[in-house]
Amino acid sequence: MNGAVPTPRIDHVVINVGRGLDDALARFGRLGFHLTPRGHHSRGTSNHLAIFGNDYLELIGIEPARTGVVDWGHPPGLVGLVFKTGDAQRLAAELAGRGVPLDAAGASDLSRPVELADGSTRDARFLTLRLAPDRVANGRVFFCDHRTPELVWQAPWQRHPNGVTGIAEYVYVAEDPMRAAALVGQVFAGTPIADVPGGCRMAAGAGAVSWLAPDTVRRRYGESALAPMRDPAMTGPDRAIALELAVTSGPAALAALDAGQVPYTVLPDGGVCVEPDQALGTTLVFRPAAPAAPRA
């Protein structure tokens, strides 16, 4: 029996920082993000979040002395693309009914304590549903079902000196972009994956996911964007490589980067590009929102 087809909306993205959580907190502070206090997952990993309007960026790492966890199992840098769902259990049945390969664990519980402004603590609770690990090289694609969203999207955490308001584009580099996009295309069979110069692209709510050939990545961001491809931990020719973020204005992003003494390049299209050696193996682009069309 065929199940319903979900609509893609990005919930959050994940950068693997390994044992470098302290360095990650400092670096992303200099990049102009207001990060949450360190959280500790029920599965052993720890994190800091940059919360935006309807999505967020997660810096995930480990504290071996606390949990005994060795690592998250992927190369450092951008490794996690996470979509929204309001019912992970139902979605698991729907996707399985259409033959989408899923992790054998199915929809799994996850939680972490969150300290509130009044000093009390509550558990932020989630259900996650991961696509089959052997089908996603150098990272993860999964769904997140927030059971307590009010503990994540708290207003004081959503204001950032760099003006970031949300995720604009999650970018993969791939030798064969359409082949690399096939699994996500199977999940979201009702959403077209469009050909673009040098790759392909899928709309995902207010943002998008792109799969681009190496030469296209090089032309868009510069040679440095491909540096993570030389990581010895790579398990194949494709991986997530860049993250574009919507900002309230270009000057806000520039002022935050200048204050943090972070080098950057202004791209021909107006985006502000930070190279991966400044952002834990991820090319970051701060993208000002397009101006509204003039009224007739």
Mean pLDDT of the chain: 94
Report which of 263, 66, 47, 83 is spatially closest to residue 157, judged by C-alpha positions: 47
pLDDT digits (tens, 9 = 90+) for 133-170: 999 999 999 999 999 999 999 999 999 999 999 999 99
Residue 69 has pLDDT above 80, yes or no: no
Instruction: Determine the pLDDT at residue 296.
Output: 29
Instruction: Determine the pLDDT at residue 16.
Output: 97
Class of domain 10-157: alpha beta
Provide CATH 3.10.180.10 ranges for the chain.
Answer: 10-157, 164-288
Residue 292 has pLDDT above 60, yes or no: no
Calculate mean pLDDT across residues 79-100: 97
Residue 115 has pLDDT above 50, yes or no: yes
Instruction: Determine the pLDDT at residue 70.
Output: 73
pLDDT digits (tens, 9 = 90+) for 185-200: 999 999 999 999 999 9
Instruction: Determine the pLDDT at residue 3.
Output: 57
Tell me yes or no: is domain 164-288 CATH 3.10.180.10: yes
pLDDT digits (tens, 9 = 90+) for 228-252: 999 999 998 999 999 999 999 899 9
Q: What is the pTM of this model?
A: 0.95
Is the distance from CB of 45 to CB of 61 less than 8 angstroms?
A: yes
Largest CA distance in the chain: 63
> What is the 3 state secondary structure string of 73-125?
CCCCEEEEEEEECCCHHHHHHHHHHCCCCECCCCCEEEEEEEECCCCCEEEEE
The H or E element spanning position 250 is helix 250-259
State both tokens at 106.
Answer: 């199915």
Instruction: Determine the pLDDT at residue 17.
Output: 97
